[in-house]
Structure 1
């Protein structure tokens, strides 16, 4: 009888142990399944995030490419406009020179009693050759040589009728060399010493452009306002008014 009780007890313990083992396996499988679901959800979220990031980077790259294209287009249009304006000035300069009388060498050429000035400005043909040589260098994009030529011209023929033009092109030669400080210095001579010349309004406009590029919008605005006030009917004044409206 005692042996039978022991046997039944052992049997019950074995069944309980088997049942517990079965429950442990089910719990483990459930936990593994839950973990798998969570990992898959996390991977899906990470994949979605990476895809969104890739799409965002793609859109940004497209936007940068678009903006770069706009900058290149605007740069090209600006350079084209500058070249067109420069060609206009060159053509105008050439046309006006053809209309000038060959003997117009300035006050020094007229005043025969002033020997010092006559020595430098008494030969209109030579003045014309020196001026043309500097201008041809400018047309050939030899801006350094052009600046040397125009600088020598205004020193040699300060009273020549071509001196204002030479001083103006000297300033533009410095602009072409990206030397705005020297350009402003050269153009300021036109606006003061040769304030009555046809080139003075354009020199004010060139100075304003350089001042703006040098990060001095206040000075640029002042130059534009001076241009409009002093030369209201000059073509350059119309450009100045347009710029002032945008400031």
Structure 2
């Protein structure tokens, strides 16, 4: 019982001892907690600082990359514009070249056409005359055509000059037999019957198979009649009938011979009647 009675009296002492022992422990515990907190805060600040620095570095890197990309885009834009300018310039040059090429082709075509025309004028060309085909030079053809045009205009002097010039310049021309025939007609129109007979004889003697040969003989007879050479005219007409019996000229010669066989006065009149200028006939 004494123990039980004495225990309550010790509670205050125990309480005081407990408080005295707990005070330093709590202070130490509080001090330890503040240090940990500060270290945590410092570590957090340090981590955040590092994160901020890293983020800043990343932002700067991104900004640098963006700036570089901008410069690249600007350079690319500049290059694209330069390419556009170059392309436009090239297109302009192509258009100029195309126009120049077209103009050159046109000129070449014109020159080729002019050259072909000049060559055509200089090259021999085929001609068919009096049933015969032969090659003649352009000037040769032009000379003969001009002479025939003079004949059709009854300008016998100019026709004779043109035909003589043609025969002198081209002695072996394919026109020579026809030219001699028309030369005879030109002299006949000029009443130079002897010269006409010589020209007509060149046809008969030089080309007896020529289509104009029968007409040439008939014209010789006409010239002889004009020269009052009736005997010679008769012989020529007989030669015509014998040498070219089926020709139209031979039929005319037969009629002429019948007229010559009539009395003298009518014969002379009849002989003169058909003896009209051969050049007056249509030049063919």
Q: Which has the larger radius of gyration?
A: 2
Choose which of 219, 234, 245 in structure 2 pairs with 1:232: 245
Alignment of 1:173 with 2:186, yes or no, is: yes
After TM superposition, give the deviation of residue 158 of structure 1 in Å.
2.8
Q: Which residue of structure 2 aligns with residue 158 of structure 1?
A: 171
- Structure 1 portions without partners, runs of 5+: 1-94, 106-122
Is residue 244 from structure 1 mapped to residue 257 from structure 2 by the alignment?
A: yes
Distance 2:204 2:166 in 1: 18
Tell me, in whole angstroms, the C-alpha distance in 1 between the residues paired with 2:190 and 2:143.
21
Aligned residue in 1 for 2:155: 142
Output the CA distance in 2 between the equivalents of 1:189 and 1:236: 18
Query: Higher RCO, 1 or 2 (CA under 8 Å, sep at least 6)?
Result: 2
Q: CA RMSD in A?
A: 2.0
Q: Distance in 1 between matches of 2:207 and 2:142?
A: 22
Question: Structure 1 residue 157: deviation in Å?
Answer: 2.4
User: Matched residues in 2 for 1:97 and 1:192: separation?
Assistant: 19
Q: TM-score, normalised by structure 1?
A: 0.51
2:207 matches 1:194: yes
Shift of 1:98: 9.6
1:134 & 1:195 partners in 2: Cα distance?
23
Q: Deviations over 1:98-131 (max 9, x none)?
A: 9765xx22xxxxxxxxxxxxxxxxx532221110
Cα distance in 1 for residues equivalent to 2:173 and 2:199: 17
Instruction: Quote the residue 2:142 is aligned against.
Output: 129
Equivalent residues, number: 134
Q: Distance in 2 between matches of 1:209 and 1:219?
A: 10
